Chains A and B, each alone.
Chain A
């Protein structure tokens, strides 16, 4: 039997399955297809206001990270709940986190730790939808992710796309009911691999830039012929998409933004050379080059078995999820701070839910949406604080519960987007970005 990848979720739905289901066609589109969707998009609305954050980096821990092994330990709970990890002090008196996050412990002065995230959707897809969009899952409507809302508001005038996913988006990190043009631009590969190339940004080796140029000229010729014979509002700007795709393909700006190999060894080491580490480093480069919303997807957090081994060590000592997250997250926050970017960049760390307080019979924890954590830093967020808390066993919020609507409401507000703005869907139906949320108390 083929070994099951640790990156699989327990429900067995991976990206291939998802593409088969036809729900995420945007990520499979080529560049021009992606840009073509713009014709169907409504013009960016004026529902923006002065932003506290100019860009956002979302680190998505796909599968549901355990709050009890990371940021909300319960050392005084019974043994079947508290687990094996010990809490350690941080640079903020009174805040204690996992012993396997020692570097993160030194940057907590920048972090607002929300310990009371709560909802009721314990399935990966519904939980992801809720957290990434701020809207409860609906059988009839897929809502746009926060990144896609940002892209819709920011517009697509620049060479670099406004919304990028590293290495690629997850379910419900897409454009939902918005046109597919607001899907994230996916790198399409693991940036930590030596042979990494950005999909769609580098033509195949067999296709030289001269041939790309010839194809473009041919496209322009055909487009001119088409335009001379017919005019329609959708078809007329066809060449625009190719021009944009061509600009992205050939622009020095885009080539420079994605050129991870240009970073110094010191910078690479600061983030770590893991998948999430290089993803965070890439995100910092993209933000510096003007990309507004970057989602880094780190899979493998769905730990139903051997959680106390897999989190720190996995295959060998130190190879687990927590050491690489610790290095990457602390490296990103520190680097952004040292470069004067943390103030304008909102950094979010979260997954779709927490894990069951009671350890199961396979030494793991199962899905638990009633309690989870979100770390927010930079972008106008007041660091060095804990927002909300859970009860003695980490089962449910005991004070100041925060719902996904509140998180999306606060995030969009920080980005200068009016969260209750009613978007006019193509069928004329007004739909609010987020319904029923509120600004998280004390966050800014």
Chain B
């Protein structure tokens, strides 16, 4: 049961902050915004919680029967690009991986895939929505073809190369490349057309917990795609994966990092980790623009809303905060002190 909706409001300069205490003791490992509705969802035990950003509807919780679905723990969730489906990854650690695809907003389970491997740790839809990739605790990445017509999931590829858990993954905007980060401290770039490992980056010296893709507005001039990765080595690194270049390293975090997210404008990056602080980074430099002491526990999940007006953060205790970005993010640098 959701304990309380809005815990409190607080003004951080130009940022409005609202906290939702959702599930006591359930670490929030992923948050996703609906691509077109003002809705955010995050994981719970045997459930997901949906929160309406405009309060047009009360918070609701969609439950699953773990025995039927095999979903004992949810680790990752993502919306289909058309907003009609929500996909969940998880399972039972060391026992079984499970993928659930729910019809949105009804929550009806339309696909349920069980894998006799380890649990699944992360999930991503391709930008066209035809592919679904999941990372496993057993180090494999599985790519499925998702058919909307009959909601079928057909396994297309197994990408093997990580030497430990896959912690996060994403598709580039052409769906040609898949980027993954792992507990083996590597970032790997996979060529999906050939089903092969294209490149491995071993620059990080800690677990790569999170990956984020720079949105298209920022590289519409035909530039290679950029990604950001966050690691327990206390750095955020920005890459041009195709050409094999680490563009930038952002230090000065002084804490182990678990999550990174690009603002839809592409000009900002948010990072967070063990110290509960959210840091806003200028994507075009290595400058930390602003630090906000947001949570009193480890932050595991960050997500910007598609319109860029909200940043959601989730912590180990089960608290989710929404930070309203009330000014043009591109002006942040001039409005704040580093």
- Chain A residues with CB under 8 Å of chain B are 49-52, 54, 154-155, 157-158, 252-253, 256, 259, 262-264, 267, 284-285, 288-290, 337-340, 343-344
Contacts and interface: CB of A to CB of B under 8 A. Distances in A.
A340 B183 contact: yes
B183 A337 contact: yes
A314 to B, nearest CB: 30
Contact of B296 (A50, A262, A285): A50
A23 B248 CA distance: 61
A176 to B, nearest CB: 24
B232 A343 contact: yes
Nearest to A292: B25
A288 B183 contact: no
A338 B96 CA distance: 17
B95 to A, nearest CB: 4
Interface stretch (B36-44, B49-57, B159-167, B262-270): B159-167
Given A339-B137, A340-B165, A256 B183 contact: no
A54 B298 contact: yes
Contact of A285 (B24, B93, B167, B184): B93
B165 A338 contact: yes
Contacts of A155: 25
A289 B73 contact: yes
A267 B94 contact: yes
A54 B164 contact: no
Interface residues of B, number: 34
Contact of A52 (B25, B95, B183, B274): B274
Given A285-B94, A339-B164, A339-B165, A157 B256 contact: no
A155 B25 CA distance: 10
Contacts of A289: 72-73, 93
Contacts of A253: 45-46, 66, 72
A338 B316 CA distance: 20
Most chain A CB neighbours (cut-off 10 Å) among B25, B121, B184, B296: B25
Contact of A284 (B66, B94, B316): B94
A343 B207 contact: yes
B187 to A, nearest CB: 14
B275 interface: yes
Contacts of B66: 252-253, 256
Contacts of A157: 24-25
Contacts of A284: 94
Given A253-B45, A253-B66, A256-B72, A340 B92 contact: no
Given A50-B276, A343-B207, A343-B232, A263 B94 contact: yes
Interface string B67-108: 100001100000000000000000011111000000000000
For the complex of A and B, the 4 pairs showing the least CB-CB separation, nearest first, are: A338-B164, A288-B93, A262-B95, A340-B183
Given A50-B276, A252-B66, A338 B73 contact: no
Contacts of B67: 252
Given A262-B96, A284-B94, A337-B164, 13 more contacts: A50-B274, A158-B25, A253-B72, A263-B94, A285-B93, A288-B93, A288-B94, A289-B93, A290-B25, A339-B165, A340-B121, A340-B165, A340-B209
Contacts, number: 72
Nearest to B163: A338
B173 interface: no
Given A253-B66, A340-B164, A340-B209, A263 B95 contact: yes
A273 to B, nearest CB: 16
Contacts of A259: 92, 95
A263 to B, nearest CB: 5
Nearest to B316: A54
B56 to A, nearest CB: 31
Contacts of B72: 252-253, 256, 289
A49 B298 CA distance: 11
A340 B95 contact: no
B297 interface: yes
Contact of B92 (A49, A256, A344): A256
Contacts of B296: 49-50
A334 B66 CA distance: 29
Contacts of B24: 157
Nearest to A158: B25
20 contacts: A50-B276, A50-B296, A50-B298, A51-B297, A54-B298, A154-B25, A253-B45, A253-B46, A259-B92, A259-B95, A262-B92, A263-B94, A288-B93, A337-B183, A338-B165, A339-B137, A339-B183, A340-B209, A343-B232, A343-B256
A256 to B, nearest CB: 5
A298 to B, nearest CB: 21
Nearest to A281: B94
Contacts of A343: 207, 232, 256
Given A54-B316, A253-B72, A340 B96 contact: no
Contacts of B164: 337-340
B29 to A, nearest CB: 11
Contacts of A264: 94
A121 B72 CA distance: 45
Nearest to A288: B93
A337 B276 CA distance: 23
A157 B24 CA distance: 8
A256 B94 CA distance: 10
Nearest to A284: B94
B287 to A, nearest CB: 26
Contacts of A267: 94
A150 to B, nearest CB: 13
A340 B24 CA distance: 23
Contacts of A158: 25
Interface string B271-311: 00011100000000000000000001110000000000000
Contacts of A344: 298
A441 B163 CA distance: 33
A260 to B, nearest CB: 9
A45 B92 CA distance: 32
A256 B72 CA distance: 8
A256 B276 contact: no
A106 to B, nearest CB: 14
A340 B94 contact: no
A339 B93 CA distance: 10
A339 B182 CA distance: 9
